[in-house]
Amino acid sequence: MNQGITEAQFLDQYNPKDYDSPLMTVDIALFTLHESTLQILLVERGDHPHKGRWALPGGFIDLKSDTELHDTAKRKLREKTGVDVPLLEQVNTIGNARRDPRGWSVTALYMALVPHAPTAEFIETVKDARWWPIDEVRKLPLAFDHAELVHLARERLKNKTAYTVLPIHVLKQPFSLTQLQQAFELLMDATLEKKSFRRRILNAEILEEVGEGVPEGGRGRPTALYRPAKNSEQYLFTRVFGDAVSS
Amino acid sequence: MNQGITEAQFLDQYNPKDYDSPLMTVDIALFTLHESTLQILLVERGDHPHKGRWALPGGFIDLKSDTELHDTAKRKLREKTGVDVPLLEQVNTIGNARRDPRGWSVTALYMALVPHAPTAEFIETVKDARWWPIDEVRKLPLAFDHAELVHLARERLKNKTAYTVLPIHVLKQPFSLTQLQQAFELLMDATLEKKSFRRRILNAEILEEVGEGVPEGGRGRPTALYRPAKNSEQYLFTRVFGDAVSS
DNA sequence: CATATTATTGGCCAACAGCCACTATATAGC
DNA sequence: GCTATATAGTGGCTGTTGGCCAATAATATG
């Protein structure tokens, strides 16, 4: 193949355009909690292919400005949400010959969960993007195989949540344990037992009590409010829930 | 951008070579257990770049014959081991501008664990490939960022093993519980408590007793031999071990 | 003041993991 | 044979944790 030449000579001769390569994209499933629903950010495609359909934010790598794969993901999210998403989790990479009409295509799927507030006003200004409640997404016409990608990300989110204290950093602070439990339940799509939930969360020592607040619904016993303890970042990947989920 | 044209017209005009795209490859960390060590398959590179260094088996997608990303992985493994690997797990996808001297490069890393015997003779005939004990790999000159890829796959293997009954299908059958425990310990890189191990494995009801055999070392009480029960495939992803690991 | 509503705690039981000593059954050497 | 040694397998205790659900606390409403 390249006998008898040095590596420098080889690189000199090499031109990537001499070879066929697939399309390479990045897609991001960005989730948030708002008004007691789990929501996902979708973008209405303005270009072919699949013009007019809803899609996950994402796109091609900019070989000049991006130096890491997740730089592309961060850049695309910044364009659509106006904020920098710190924790991007890679979910899966899907590649085949039929998912994009333009030909062989590979996409790296990322996932993140962000608080709703900081993004809300900005997204209104991006006319082709909006938050969709996750339950309504299956009624939408989605581009490419994005219905499948949404499903993969949603499953990962369920699992991830069971293993981490992730929702703590998504709620408006301070929050009550009831609110925190509701957040966990939304993300995990499961019902948690109240006493077990409180035991685990409090034993983990990741919360700090900061006073009292009004209960859900305005009436009833006042509730204790909490915020993440200073050292709670380090517990971000602590296992908090086991099999303590019913469906 | 493409105003006023139909999707068919758009696709007609479209040529992927008009756009810059990164190199896209697939790499596979193939593990096996042999002679009480965890081993990984490596290939000595015959071409630039990094000619002469050891690398994970892998390579470029064949846009004509491969229809799925993991087809590429399976094809490459078949060339090197002579066998079809049924269970390929995707570990991670790494992409950046500096991992390959040829330019921006993305690789999808897969992982699998196979029994040693069926591959052994074939690999001898592939002169550039061999099994390496995992502990010796860090002394080798590895190509690209494959040292990092090996590390990622090894970590995933540890976790995966803790959650599945994977080693059952890798041992020569029938096997004793002592042998099974040793396999788990090698894969998880941890010490397991004998009684707890046996309790969990036997309670899972995934094994079938099939007689007696000689103990390890030839002397001592004879050992019960087991093989996977018929329904054990469905338990492939059952959680078998929790935090019952010391180091 | 009675009732409804939400928050929080008490307390029991069953399951299970860690621990380690004890028993069982073989081989090797004398 | 007898003893030492090696490996396999079990008994049984303890502490932790999760599921369950009833009891108690503290407020709002009419």
- Closest Cβ opposite residue B49 in set A7, A20, A24: A7
As a rounded value in angstroms, the CA-to-C1' distance for A143 and C11 is 55
Chain B's closest residue to A12, CA to CA, is B102
Asked if A106 lies within 8 A of B102 by C-beta distance, the reply is no
Asked if A101 lies within 8 A of B11 by C-beta distance, the reply is yes
> Is residue B43 within 8 Å of B80, Cβ to Cβ?
yes
Separation in Å, CA of A187 to nearest CA in chain B:
22
Given a cut of 70, whether residue A204 has pLDDT beyond it is yes
**pLDDT interval class at A244 (50, 70, 90):** very low
Domains and CATH numbers, chain B: 20-162 (3.90.79.10), 165-239 (1.10.10.10)
Q: Tens of pLDDT along chain B (247 residues)?
A: 556 788 788 788 887 777 789 999 999 999 999 999 999 999 999 988 999 999 999 999 999 999 999 999 999 999 999 999 988 999 999 999 999 999 999 999 999 999 999 999 999 999 899 999 999 999 999 999 999 999 999 999 998 888 787 888 899 999 999 999 999 999 999 999 999 999 999 998 889 999 999 999 999 999 999 999 876 655 444 555 543 343 3
Instruction: Name which residue leads in pLDDT, A7 or A88.
Output: A88
Chain pair A-B, CB pairs under 8 angstroms: 121
**Testing the interface with A: which of B92, B106, B111, B240 to mutate, by most A Cβ within 10 A?**
B106
Residues of B in contact with A95 (CB under 8 A): 24, 61, 68-69, 108
- Closest Cβ opposite residue A63 in set B11, B20, B51: B20
- Classified as helix, coil or strand, A236 is coil
Residue A239: its pLDDT value, please? 55
Per the structure, the residue whose CA is closest to nucleotide C5 at C1' is: A220
* Burial classification of residue B4, based on how many CB atoms lie within 10 Å of its CB (0-12 exposed, 13-18 middle, 19 or more buried): exposed
* Lowest mean pLDDT, pick from A3-17, A98-112, A125-139, B141-155: A3-17
Chain A's closest residue to B14, CA to CA, is A102
**Testing the interface with A: which of B12, B70, B93 to mutate, by most A Cβ within 10 A?**
B93
As a rounded value in angstroms, the CA-to-C1' distance for A178 and C10 is 19
**Could you give the ipTM of this predicted complex?**
0.90
- Closest Cβ opposite residue B16 in set A23, A61, A68: A23
Chain A's closest residue to B96, CA to CA, is A68
As a rounded value in angstroms, the CA-to-C1' distance for B245 and D17 is 17
Given a cut of 50, whether residue A237 has pLDDT beyond it is no
Q: Which nucleotides of C are covered by protein (CB under 7 A)?
A: 4-11, 16-21, 24-28
Given a cut of 50, whether residue A245 has pLDDT beyond it is no
Residues of B in contact with A19 (CB under 8 A): 60
* Burial classification of residue B11, based on how many CB atoms lie within 10 Å of its CB (0-12 exposed, 13-18 middle, 19 or more buried): middle
**pLDDT interval class at A109 (50, 70, 90):** very high
The contact set of A with B (CB < 8 A) is 1-2, 5, 7, 10-11, 14, 16-17, 19-24, 46-51, 60-61, 63, 66-69, 90, 92-98, 101-104, 106, 108
Residue A3: its pLDDT value, please? 60
Nearest-angstrom CA–CA distance, A192 and A155: 18
Residues A141-155 have pLDDT tens digits of: 999 999 999 999 999
- Indicate the angle between helix axes B117-125 and B69-81, nearest 10 degrees: 70
Separation in Å, CA of A17 to nearest CA in chain B:
7
Given a cut of 80, whether residue A90 has pLDDT beyond it is yes
Given a cut of 80, whether residue A56 has pLDDT beyond it is yes
As a rounded value in angstroms, the CA-to-C1' distance for A12 and D16 is 64
Which amino acid, one-letter code, is at B48? H
* Main-chain phi, psi angles of B40, to 5 degrees: -130, 145
- Closest Cβ opposite residue A90 in set B20, B69, B92: B92
The answer to whether the Cα torsion of A52, A103, A24, B86 is positive or negative is: positive
Residues A144-196 have pLDDT tens digits of: 999 999 999 999 999 888 878 888 889 999 999 999 999 999 999 999 999 99
Q: Measuring CA to CA, how many Å separate A124 from each of A34, A98, A142, B15, B239?
A: 15, 34, 21, 35, 44
Sheet architecture: strand order including B223-228 = B175-176, B223-228, B207-213
Beta strands in chain A (DSSP E): 23-34, 37-44, 54-55, 58-60, 89-96, 105-113, 129-133, 175-176, 191-192, 207-213, 223-228, 245-246
Measuring from the CA of residue B191 to each C1' atom, give the nucleotide at the shortest distance: C18
Residue B236: its pLDDT value, please? 44
Given a cut of 60, whether residue A201 has pLDDT beyond it is yes
Question: What percent of chain A has pLDDT above 70?
Answer: 92
Question: What is the b/e burial string over A151-179, where b = at least 16 CB atoms within 10 angstroms of the residue's CB?
Answer: ebbbebbeebbbebbbbbbbbeebbbbbb
Residue A110: its pLDDT value, please? 98
Separation in Å, CA of B31 to nearest CA in chain A:
21
* Protein footprint of strand C, defined by Cβ closer than 7 Å to any strand atom: A 176-178, 194-195, 198, 215-217, 219-224; B 193-196, 199-200, 203, 218-222, 242-246
Task: Kindly state the average pLDDT of the residues A198-223.
Answer: 93
Q: Which nucleotides of D are covered by protein (CB under 7 A)?
A: 5-12, 17-22, 25-29
As a 3-state breakdown, chain B gives helix, strand, coil percent values, each rounded to 5, of: 35, 30, 40
* Burial classification of residue A5, based on how many CB atoms lie within 10 Å of its CB (0-12 exposed, 13-18 middle, 19 or more buried): middle
